[in-house]
Amino acid sequence: MRHQNATAYRFLAPYLLIFAIFWVWPIIDSFMISFQATRTVPWRFAPGFNWGRLIGDPAFFNALKNTLLILVIQVPVMISLAIVMAVLLNSPLLKARGLFRFAFFAPVVVGEVAYSAVFRLMFNLNFGIINKLLNSVGLPSVDWFSNVTPAMAVIMIAVTWRWAGYNAIILLAGLQSIPEDVYEAATLDRVSKLKQFFYITLPLLKPIILFCAVLSIIGTMQLFTEPFLITERGGPGGGTETLGLLLYRQGFRSLNFGYASAIAYTMAGLAIAISLVQIWLTREPK
């Protein structure tokens, strides 16, 4: 046994080594860096320097506010949409199920730059299809990228488009694990389809919905691509700057790694805290 274990670990060693260098060490190192003043070389240990700044930094609170705003609006909307999509996908009336499943999943594998470029084009003030559609039903054009509220909306729409199908596929797997005869029993019990959805499907799907919600919360806390590429680095005027973007700005533009690390740990902490609250709120009643 001993010998076999040693052999196994030798096979695993290359992976473990890379994992330690590129995952474990950065996690530990960034934690330590967050306690160092990194504005000037040499870096020095100053616990209050970054964490103290964080507490009073309006840019941080702006980014935090934007991130949480996106989180509380986009995640519930997307999960609800994903549930509806999953239920439709699961319907026996649906033809070409495989095609839809692929179509729903496709946005995830589209390159981020291409996807962002397409969204910028779609929401372009003068020749974007969205404004053309608005005009065609008699509504005025919206200058999507010059005002904060429409810009935030674009980000939420883009993120939802990208991830709703992915969540729908996960939820579909959950739906398919609910036995058909439970619904048949409910039908015989004279329970309407709508009530079956609310009183049977949703409760039985709860663990999967929770899983999707936690996944989405973690994803949204780290939101970076969309504000970086679609609203051009958190524009207009920082109106869509997220924590992810602030981190990038501090770390890789200003090379202030200490502060960036503190932001990173704040993001991770918040994601964990919100997820725990979510899990606690939806726990099984004893």
Q: Which residues bind other proteins (CB under 8 A)?
A: 179, 181-182, 184-192, 195, 199-200, 203-204
Please, which residue, 196 or 278, has the CB nearer to other proteins? 196
Query: Would you say 57 and 250 are in contact if contact means Cβ atoms under 8 Å apart?
Result: no
Closest approach of other proteins to the CB of residue 199, in Å: 7
Token pair listed for 10 = 């030798």
Query: Would you say 165 and 108 are in contact if contact means Cβ atoms under 8 Å apart?
Result: yes
N residues, the chain? 286
Planar angle of CA 257, 262, 265, nearest 5 degrees: 120
Closest approach of other proteins to the CB of residue 234, in Å: 43
Please, which residue, 146 or 177, has the CB nearer to other proteins? 177
Query: Would you say 167 and 212 are in contact if contact means Cβ atoms under 8 Å apart?
Result: yes
Q: Quick check: helix, strand or coil at residue 91?
A: coil
Please, which residue, 41 or 188, has the CB nearer to other proteins? 188
Please, which residue, 56 or 181, has the CB nearer to other proteins? 181
Closest approach of other proteins to the CB of residue 81, in Å: 24
Please, which residue, 87 or 218, has the CB nearer to other proteins? 87
Q: How far are the Cα atoms of 102, 120, 141, 268, 285 from residue 151, in angstroms, in the given order?
A: 29, 11, 14, 25, 41
The partner residues of 44 in beta bridges, in order of sequence, read 37
Please, which residue, 26 or 179, has the CB nearer to other proteins? 179
Query: Would you say 168 and 100 are in contact if contact means Cβ atoms under 8 Å apart?
Result: no
Closest approach of other proteins to the CB of residue 48, in Å: 50
Closest approach of other proteins to the CB of residue 285, in Å: 10
Please, which residue, 7 or 176, has the CB nearer to other proteins? 176
Closest approach of other proteins to the CB of residue 200, in Å: 6
Closest approach of other proteins to the CB of residue 110, in Å: 37
Please, which residue, 55 or 189, has the CB nearer to other proteins? 189
Say how many C-beta atoms besides its own lie within 10 A of residue 121's C-beta.
12
In the block, tokens 């619904």 appear at 183
Q: Quick check: helix, strand or coil at residue 93?
A: coil
Closest approach of other proteins to the CB of residue 87, in Å: 18
Peptide bond into 236 cis (omega under 30): yes
Q: Quick check: helix, strand or coil at residue 144?
A: coil
DSSP string, 243-281: HHHHHHIIIIIS--HHHHHHHHHHHHHHHHHHHHHHHHH
Burial class from Cβ neighbours inside 10 Å (0-12, 13-18, 19+) for residue 263 reads buried
